[in-house]
Amino acid sequence: MNHQLPSIASKRLRRTRALRAVAVVLLGVVVTASVLVGLTDPASASSCSGPISEGEIRVVLVVDSSDLGGSSSATCLVVPAGTNGLQLLARRGTELGTGSPRYGSSGLLCAIDNLPADKRVCGEQNSDGFSYWAYFFDNGGNWAYGSNNPFSKRLTDGAIEGWRFVVGGCGCGLDPSPRIGPSRSLFPALAPAPGLAPLPEPPSASVPIPQSSGGANLEQQVGAAETGSLPVTTAVEGVVVGEVALASSNSTESSAGRWVGIAVVFVLIGVMAGGAWVQTRRSR
């Protein structure tokens, strides 16, 4: 059991090792802290009604959070070509100041515009079915259920994307679509509306489009929604249609208090680790 190396050398070795471990831990804490502190979102200005430059596209993003107490809105955005569905969603949050969308650790979209507000909720399944943010894209003037990853979806000029919070859905193409239909009129009239000719299919359009019965169902619902009294009004700049629920997107809680708590806990951990190290050394 006892394989004593020369004791001075081993003691020095042990001390170096312990120091190294402490240095690694400290480095990790500092890096994490600096990373958490230095988070800023770059914002860029762009106008959907003006002319767009080379390498940019105009797309409309419809978000329907009516079932969560929010509203339906359509936002026209100018983004770089090749932007994907999730980047578009993040861009919308930055432009409207509603905060960035929240994702679960599995990559599932939990909340848009901080709805649902409870951070523990992320795509729930109960006896009614699934409650989640469903993804849709424009397929020739009708919503088609997006069954592929929005990340792998590269947007083209004139594309219309939609998100609707579905309560008690089946998690399939039969789930209700956003209450605002994917119509060309969502693009501001100041600039020539792109894609007046038959829309070019999006690159990843080879996804399974919902079967005929589902399609008919969707169409009906979209039609019913459009004839209903929805707050679809063109805003001043033609950028935002409808109203966007400006929920308390930024946590009002100051992060300084949290840092104090974290510091206290890590002091506790340091005391325990130091005590454990001393005890181990004494027992050897």
Partner 1 sequence: MTAPRLLHPGAWWLWAVALSACALRTTNPVLLCLIIAVSGWVVVSRRADVPWSRSFASFLRLGMIVIAVRVVFQIFFGVRIPGTTLFTIPEVTLPDWAAGVSIGGPVTLESLMAAFYQGLRLAAVLACFGAATSLCSPYRMLRALPTVLYEAGVAVTIAFTFAPQAIVASRQVREARRLRGRSDRGVRAWSASALPVLEGALDRAVALAASMDSRGYGRRGSSSVSVRRGSVGLVLLGLVAIAVGSYGLLDSSAPALFRIPALGLGAAALIGALVAGGKSTMRTRYRPDPWIGPEWMVSLAGVVALGSFVLVGRMGDALSPSTNPLEVPAVPFVAVVGLLIAALPAWLAPHPPTLASASSPLAVAA
Binding residues for partner 1, per CB under 8 A? Answer: 3, 32, 35-36, 39, 86-87, 89-90, 99-103, 105-107, 118-120, 125, 148-149, 151-152, 204, 206-207, 251, 253, 255, 258-259, 261-262, 264-266, 268-269, 272-273, 275-276, 279-280, 283
Residue number with CB closer to partner 1 (110 or 245): 110
Helix or strand holding residue 80 (H, E): strand 72-80
Cα separation, 121 vs 109, in Å, equals 11
- Rounded CA separation 129/150 (Å): 22
Give me the amino acid identity at 81: A
Smallest distance, partner 1 to C-beta of residue 224, A: 31
Least Å distance, CB 86 to partner 1, is 5
Instruction: Judge whether 112 and 63 are in contact, CB under 8 Å.
Output: yes
Q: Which is nearer to partner 1, 198 or 261 (CB)?
A: 261
Nearer Cβ to partner 1 (27/265): 265
> What does the DSSP assignment read for 126-141?
ETTEEEEEEEEEEETT
Tokens describing residue 88: 């578009």
Q: In which residue are the tokens 């070019």 written?
A: 200
CB of 121 to partner 1, least distance (A): 9
Token look-up 């309560």 returns 167
- Kindly state the smallest distance separating residue 207's Cβ from partner 1, in Å: 7
Give the other-Cβ count within 10 Å of 191's Cβ: 16
Considering beta carbons, is residue 9 or 236 the nearer one to partner 1?
9
Nearer to partner 1, 53 or 126 (CB): 126
Q: How far is the CB of 124 from partner 1 (least distance, A)?
A: 9
